[in-house]
Structure 1
Amino acid sequence: MQYLALPFFISLLITLLILRFQHLHGKYTADHDLTGVQKFHSRAVPRIGGLGIMVAMVVMIGWLFISGNSDATAFALLILASSPAFLGGIIEDCTKKVRSLIRLLLTMIAAALAFYLLDAGVFRLDIPFIDLVMAFWPVSLLFTVVAVGGVANAINIIDGYNGLASMVSVLMFAALGYVGFLVGDTFIWRTALIMMGAILGFFVWNYPRGLIFLGDGGAYLIGFMLAELSVLLVTRNPSVSPWFPLLVIIYPIFETVFSIYRRVIVRGGAADIPDAAHLHQLVYKRMVRWAVGSKVAREKTTRNAMTSPYLWFLCSVSVVPAMLFWQHAWMLQLCVGAFIVLYIVLYRRLVHFNAPRWLLIKKARQDTSSDDEKA
């Protein structure tokens, strides 16, 4: 239990200190852009929530060594490997000058470090003939760095509303830790618990009021750790299908793939140009905004927080089957296909203003004259 509780309280305390002394660093660390297409907050908010998570993980390194834990060295090497991904994100949070391509490349460098330090490489996909190619380390290295960078970027993409990316990540770490426990891999389930505790310490201050944001540093750090635990779980345990972590993380992965398709193929633009057409943004616009009508800051924050549970539920639709069928590649493959179909159907219905009625939150009758109703 200490693997969950200790990082929780450390992250909780560090994040509280960041909030308490916001007047000293807010000029550099707060998100003052309230008008961007992906902005849904009403005041400047610190976006260095990832700092509390990283501090909690660094403190846990010391605690593991002091307690004589057998996983201390591996955990320290993993955190060391994560540093390029985290630093690229946290510098962007403070300077707003680190391009998305640079952050992606830094995350790939971090993946290469983990490949070298921990042998964290994707060497099999349980697909005939392809596994023969994956056995060559240069191919495995290339596939690994691209996959890890993609997952980290995917978590950053879904980080759009209070509590969305953080709670989705907790669910994913829980699934990885559960299977790690089943196969007796202490490093996997202990690291998963540490990540869950650190993220929940941040979550207390982020949801529902959005007092602090995860930021690029936090998103890339969490995404890197999700990807690396997925890789290590499969590499260290032949009984675990590679399709298990894919199904666990399919929501942010497919959100990223679909976003690239929408921006490049459908609209003929660049893949890294922000827009307001992600699934979570459509849920906000088509389903949640009817719950409250006023555009005052308090109600905007309410709508923001009410969006995230929809996506928590969507994430659980893939996480739960993954935990049930973690050994059965064909069942996992069917579930991956089913989730993709579900995502596309839901997205299409939201685009055409045809959201399922049972999912709609309707505002009270006395609020029928509000601005949002007229919009």
Structure 2
Amino acid sequence: MEQPNFMWHELVITNASFLVCFAMVIAARHWPRLAGRPADMSAVQSAHTRMTPRTGGVSILAALLAVLYFAPREVKTTYACILFSSCFVFVAGLLEDLGFGVSPRNRLLAAIFSSLAVIGVGKIWLPQLGIPPLDHLASLWLVGVPLTLLVTAGLANGFNLIDGVNGLAGFTAITAVVSMSFIARSAGLGNLADLALMFAAGIFGFWIVNYPSGVIFLGDAGAYILGFLLGWLGIVILVQAPAATPWALLLTVFWPVADTVLAIYRRRSRKQAKMQPDRLHVHQLMMRALELLWLGRERRNISNPLTTLALAPKIVAPAAVGVLLWNQPLYAFIAMVLFSALFVSSYFMAFPALRKLLPRMERRRERRQVIEAGRNV
């Protein structure tokens, strides 16, 4: 009897997220503040062609509240502590989505404050470092608390960075949370695994509206709360299952972590502000490559969602390895190193490849102009 009830819970949570998304799209037709911001169209990191509501985070919050209602009793208190503590980062992100101008620095501070609330109320933080000789240091609040703030606030910001094309952040979050569910199940944490799958169901309700057409965007509120809760889900797994390794959990969220670290390095090497947006994220380079090779820049409605499809295997692969190596710290660490090397090398190899494609794109554009001119004669 428990399995049908569980599947029914997931269906309700998915529908709650989907219906709130639909309601936000309808409401945006009547309240301009919900319809998106004109400035987003000219932003340097923009990858879209029309104003679109950025309030998908509201549907994520609705789903998370539904998850709280159905959550297994054994994990409900811990989950409630994390969820209600996330209100600070969620509100900061939502104010930015609605055009009230909350700076990246203040949003990051809100994420840190939310994590401090979890630590203060729940009395939990990152329990191990994944390096056996140094694991005991994490039990010291002077070490464990700052690392916890770095992981949770950093992951919240990481999901915001990858939220640049339709479906990418949502797909990455679903992949991560399902992978964490498998790890929790392998560690004997069935209730936590069920909670994670409910979480995935809520994200899916948003994702089917967001992908492929981008009718509504996740927004800062949605991206921040997803990253924040995924970070804390991983920490709770490590607290309750000492056999699990942090490296395996890190592999489940490899994509936003790798993109964030690379963005910090890129901006420091260019002597730019760490929070300054740019158009050099992996998903942006992939989208431009698709346009240069096949589609052309005028078909952004196709290249945008196709980018997520092209990147999907690269997102799933490290997460799947993390599931397989959930209790193998040495092998999980080696896998992290190998995936990181592959990520960095392929990123820097992309630039000369794109430069070679630019002349081809120019010739194609010239031929198209000649053909159109001939039709107009």
Label 1:205 to 1:368 Cα distance change in 2 as closer, same or farther (>3 A).
farther
| Partners of 1:50 and 1:219 within 8 A in 2 | yes
In terms of mean alpha carbon deviation, does 229-238 or 182-191 score higher?
182-191
User: Which of these residues, 256, 263, 272, is aligned with residue 259 of structure 1?
Assistant: 263
**Is residue 30 of structure 1 aligned with residue 36 of structure 2?**
yes
Distance 1:115 1:187 in 2: 22
Provide the residue aligned with 1:279 in structure 2.
Answer: 282
Provide the residue aligned with 1:185 in structure 2.
Answer: 189
Provide the residue aligned with 2:11 in structure 1.
Answer: 5
In terms of mean alpha carbon deviation, does 245-254 or 130-139 score higher?
130-139
Distance 1:224 1:370 in 2: 47
Provide the residue aligned with 2:4 in structure 1.
Answer: none
Structure 2: give runs of 5+ residues left out of the alignment: 1-6, 370-377
Structure 1: give runs of 5+ residues left out of the alignment: none
Provide the residue aligned with 1:82 in structure 2.
Answer: 86
Map 1:318-357; keep pairs closer than 5 Å: 318-353=318-353
Provide the residue aligned with 2:226 in structure 1.
Answer: 222
Compute the displacement of 1:171 (Å).
Answer: 0.4
Q: Which deviations, in whole Å up to 9, do the C-alpha atoms of 1:179-233 show, x marking residues without a partner?
A: 1112221342122112211111111111111000000000001000110001111
Letter in 2 for 1:62: Y
Letter in 2 for 1:26: P
In terms of mean alpha carbon deviation, does 55-64 or 174-183 score higher?
55-64
Q: Which has the higher helix share?
A: 2
In terms of mean alpha carbon deviation, does 29-38 or 329-338 score higher?
29-38
Alignment: residue pair count:
358
Provide the residue aligned with 2:373 in structure 1.
Answer: none
Provide the residue aligned with 1:203 in structure 2.
Answer: 207
Distance 2:268 2:297 in 1: 36
Provide the residue aligned with 1:144 in structure 2.
Answer: 148
In terms of mean alpha carbon deviation, does 333-342 or 188-197 score higher?
188-197
Distance 1:26 1:308 in 2: 29
Label 1:125 to 1:310 Cα distance change in 2 as closer, same or farther (>3 A).
same
Task: Kindly report structure 1 stretches of 4+ aligned residues shifted beyond 4 Å.
Answer: none
Q: Which deviations, in whole Å up to 9, do the C-alpha atoms of 1:347-374 show, x marking residues without a partner?
A: 122111169x9xxxx99xx999447xxx
| Partners of 1:85 and 1:217 within 8 A in 2 | yes
| Partners of 2:158 and 2:259 within 8 A in 1 | yes
Q: Which deviations, in whole Å up to 9, do the C-alpha atoms of 1:225-267 show, x marking residues without a partner?
A: 11000111111101101111111112211111111111112x1
SS at match of 1:21: helix
Distance 1:87 1:336 in 2: 33
Provide the residue aligned with 1:118 in structure 2.
Answer: 122
| Partners of 2:287 and 2:307 within 8 A in 1 | yes
**Is residue 42 of structure 1 aligned with residue 40 of structure 2?**
no
**Is residue 290 of structure 1 aligned with residue 293 of structure 2?**
yes
Compute the displacement of 1:3 (Å).
Answer: 4.0
Distance 2:294 2:8 in 1: 40
User: Which of these residues, 14, 17, 20, is aligned with residue 14 of structure 1?
Assistant: 20
SS at match of 1:125: coil
With structure 1 as the length reference, what TM-score do the two structures score? 0.89
Provide the residue aligned with 2:245 in structure 1.
Answer: 241
Label 1:191 to 1:116 Cα distance change in 2 as closer, same or farther (>3 A).
farther
SS at match of 1:193: helix
SS at match of 2:273: coil
Provide the residue aligned with 1:102 in structure 2.
Answer: 106
| Partners of 1:29 and 1:93 within 8 A in 2 | no
Provide the residue aligned with 2:62 in structure 1.
Answer: 55
Compute the displacement of 1:177 (Å).
Answer: 0.5
In terms of mean alpha carbon deviation, does 205-214 or 78-87 score higher?
78-87
| Partners of 1:241 and 1:327 within 8 A in 2 | yes
Distance 1:40 1:15 in 2: 21
Letter in 2 for 1:225: L
